[in-house]
């Protein structure tokens, strides 16, 4: 196999802060700006393999799918056979059973039981009950995860909470991942201003060297949303804690795709969304993990009545409840929350280690197919080749990425674009298979060839 892709390994360049100006312009998702094929009219059939080596790669894909213990899980999702959905790292697919469950919630629990449902349908306790369903997926023992609010809001609670837990005013710095998804950076900046700390943006790989006696907390992304690079959660957490500071992780791009092992790694606080690999639905509530050892001292900057020890006493003074519930704020978004609860059923009987093994096999295979089909130098992979540094997405860059992604989506291969030049392909092991990966690479090669032909470029 020739070395077709130039691999930059998604290296931490330390230049993320400066480079961020473009990413700070939010891309709302390519799927919203280019036509998505109608569900009833899939545009990708099963094209005859014409690319070099396509027959053998297609045959390998079929064999890998046949041997895949997770292959059957795909039937649990509403997906179109003609579409390769590689955008589950932005919005996970709908588990088929969720609409019926939601119809029941709306028509029965809300429609008929009305106010009684807060108690009798378990609405009031949903945040901590569903937190305990998310917990095993992130390696947390029960009682440490609460579901609710957006990831952004939970970043705020976790980071200000961490600074307060650090206590000591001489710890006057907050270290933040300089390559972070923008919302975390914006909120960290505000949290720093509010708590009178100085923000220190550094690349994740440089966090161990940057933390010291002045650090209160460090906020890092487990997987980079742009490159798909997996950061060293055990090593960075240990370094932050050795410095006497608190480690706060954003798990948006790792939970449900790979083992996180929060408890085993001694993470202090963590947040994540549930609409990507956990398939909770658009705007599904996020979650907050507060390690048990910190809960008694966790001082939420948003002490709403839902985290009061006796909310219905409606007392004028605040008294925090114990445990994970201390992360609650106001009335939970019950419809989204119960959709998430139902969606989590697809994880029953699935081990996250099995998911990780398939995720790595899928991204390896996709990269191999891209190398085989796409002319050398056409695309640059930003995704590290080392498994220990790879999440569950492949990011490829090329100057004409916007046009390439628009054409891919028109032809039923749905990834997304991160401006200016990144094609993102998310591999969600519960419903993406090896034939999907092969087909996506083949269509990508066709689309690149078409764009080259139109531009008069010969390779």
Ligand X SMILES: Nc1ccccc1C(=O)C[C@H](N)C(=O)O
User: Residues with catalytic annotation?
Assistant: 181, 250, 275-276, 424
Q: Among 230, 157, 243, which residue's Cα sits nearest to residue 200?
A: 243
Rounded distance between C-alpha atoms, residue 266 and residue 291, angstroms: 8
Task: Look at residue 29 and give the partner it binds from ligand PLP, ligand X, none, a contact being a CB closer than 5 to 8 Å depending on partner kind.
Answer: ligand X
> C-beta of 422: minimal distance to ligand PLP in Å?
13
Contact 246, 240 (CB under 8 A): yes
Give the one residue of 10, 54, 71, 90 binding ligand X; rule: CB under 6 A. 90
CA distance 104 to 161: 37
In the bound state with ligand X, the residue whose beta carbon lies nearer, of 156 and 225, is: 225
151 is in an annotated binding site: yes
The listed partner (ligand PLP, ligand X, none) that binds 44, CB under 5 to 8 Å by sort, is none
184 binds, among ligand PLP, ligand X, none (CB under 5 to 8 A by kind): ligand PLP
Q: d(Cα 35, Cα 212) in Å, to the nearest integer? A: 50
- Under the binding rule (CB under 6 A), the answer on residue 28 touching ligand X is yes
Q: Please choose which of ligand PLP, ligand X, none residue 190 contacts, taking the beta carbon within 5 to 8 angstroms, the exact cut-off set by kind.
A: none
On whether 152 is known to bind a ligand per the annotation, the reply is: yes
Residue 123 known to bind ligand: no
151 binds, among ligand X, ligand PLP, none (CB under 5 to 8 A by kind): ligand PLP
Residue 181 assigned to a binding site: yes
**Over the range 391-404, which residues count as b (16 or more CB within 10 Å of their CB) and which as e?**
bbbbbbbbebbbbb
Shorter beta-carbon distance to ligand PLP: residue 7 or 152: 152
Any known ligand binding at 12? no
Cα angle for residues 229, 232, 237 (degrees, 5° grid): 140
Site for ligand X in 213-232 (CB under 6 A): 225
Q: Is 182 in the site for ligand X (CB under 6 A)?
A: no
Beta carbons of 66 and 433 less than 8 angstroms apart: no
From the list ligand X, ligand PLP, none, partner contacted by residue 183 (C-beta under 5 to 8 A by kind): ligand PLP
Nearer to ligand PLP, 183 or 380 (CB): 183
| Residues pairing with 248 in the sheet | 219, 269
219/369 with CB nearer ligand X = 219
What is the helix (H) or strand (E) element at residue 78, kind and residue range? none
What is the nearest approach in angstroms of ligand PLP to the Cβ of residue 151? Answer: 3
Binding site for ligand PLP (CB under 6 A): 150-152, 181, 183-184, 221, 225, 250, 252-253, 273, 286
Least separation in angstroms between residue 112's CB and ligand X is: 33
Contacts of 125 (CB under 8 A, 6+ apart): none
Identify the H or E element spanning 388. none
Q: Please tell me whether 353 is known to bind a ligand.
A: no
| 249-275 core/surface letters (b: 16 or more CB in 10 A; e: else) | bbbbbbbbbbbbebbebebbbbbbbbb
- Return the number of other C-beta atoms located less than 10 Å from residue 7's C-beta: 14
Residue 29 binds ligand X, judged by CB under 6 A: yes
Residue 188 DSSP symbol: H
The answer to whether the annotation marks 46 as part of a ligand binding site is no
How many residues touch ligand X under the rule CB under 6 A: the total is: 6
243 vs 340 by CB, closer to ligand X:
340
C-beta contacts of 236-241 below 8 A and 24+ residues apart? 236/204, 236/207, 236/208, 237/265, 237/266, 237/267, 237/268, 238/265, 238/266, 239/207, 239/208, 239/211, 240/175, 240/207, 240/208, 240/211, 240/215, 241/266, 241/268
Nearer to ligand X, 29 or 311 (CB): 29
Binding-site members for pyridoxal 5'-phosphate are 151-152, 181-184, 250, 253, 275, 305, 331
Binding site for ligand X (CB under 6 A): 28-29, 90, 181, 225, 252
């Amino acid at each position: 196999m020739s070395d077709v892709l130039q691999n930059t390994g998604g290296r931490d360049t330390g230049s993320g802060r400066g480079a961020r100006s473009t990413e700070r312009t939010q891309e709302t998702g390519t799927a919203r700006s280019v036509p998505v094929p109608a569900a009833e009219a899939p545009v990708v059939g099963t094209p005859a393999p014409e690319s070099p080596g396509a027959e053998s790669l297609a045959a390998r894909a079929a064999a890998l799918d046949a041997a895949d213990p997770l292959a059957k899980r795909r039937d649990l999702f509403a997906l179109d056979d003609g579409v390769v959905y590689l955008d589950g790292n932005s919005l996970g697919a709908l588990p088929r059973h969720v609409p019926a469950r939601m119809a029941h919630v709306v028509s029965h629990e809300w429609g008929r039981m009305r106010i009684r449902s807060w108690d009798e349908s378990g609405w009031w306790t949903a945040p901590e009950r569903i937190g305990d369903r998310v917990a095993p997926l992130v390696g947390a023992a029960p009682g440490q995860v609460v579901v609710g609010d957006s990831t952004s809001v939970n970043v705020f609670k976790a980071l200000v909470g961490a600074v307060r837990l650090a206590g000591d005013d001489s710890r006057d710095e907050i270290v933040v991942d300089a390559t972070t998804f923008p919302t975390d950076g914006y909120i960290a900046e505000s949290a720093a201003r509010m708590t009178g700390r100085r923000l220190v943006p550094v690349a994740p790989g440089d966090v161990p060297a940057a933390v010291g006696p002045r650090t209160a907390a460090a906020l890092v992304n487990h997987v980079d949303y742009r490159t798909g690079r997996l950061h060293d959660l055990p090593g960075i957490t240990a370094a932050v804690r050795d410095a006497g500071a608190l480690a706060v992780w954003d798990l948006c791009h790792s939970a449900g795709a790979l083992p996180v092992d929060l408890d085993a790694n001694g993470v202090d606080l963590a947040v994540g969304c549930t609409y990507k690999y956990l398939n909770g639905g658009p705007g599904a509530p996020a979650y907050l993990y507060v390690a048990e050892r910190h809960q008694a001292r966790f001082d939420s900057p948003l002490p709403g009545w839902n985290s009061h020890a006796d909310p219905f006493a409606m007392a004028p003074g605040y008294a925090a409840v114990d445990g994970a519930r201390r992360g609650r704020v106001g009335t939970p978004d019950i419809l989204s929350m119960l959709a998430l609860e139902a969606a989590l059923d697809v994880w029953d009987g699935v081990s996250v280690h099995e998911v990780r093994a398939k995720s790595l096999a899928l991204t390896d295979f996709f990269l191999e197919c891209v190398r085989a089909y796409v002319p050398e130098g056409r695309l640059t992979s930003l995704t590290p080749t080392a498994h220990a540094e790879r999440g569950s997405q492949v990011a490829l860059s090329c100057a004409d990425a916007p046009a390439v992604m628009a054409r891919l989506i028109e032809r039923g291969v749905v990834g997304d674009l991160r401006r200016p030049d990144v094609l993102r392909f998310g591999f969600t092991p519960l419903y993406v298979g090896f034939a999907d990966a092969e087909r996506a690479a083949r269509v990508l090669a066709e689309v690149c060839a078409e764009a080259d032909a139109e531009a008069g470029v010969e390779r």
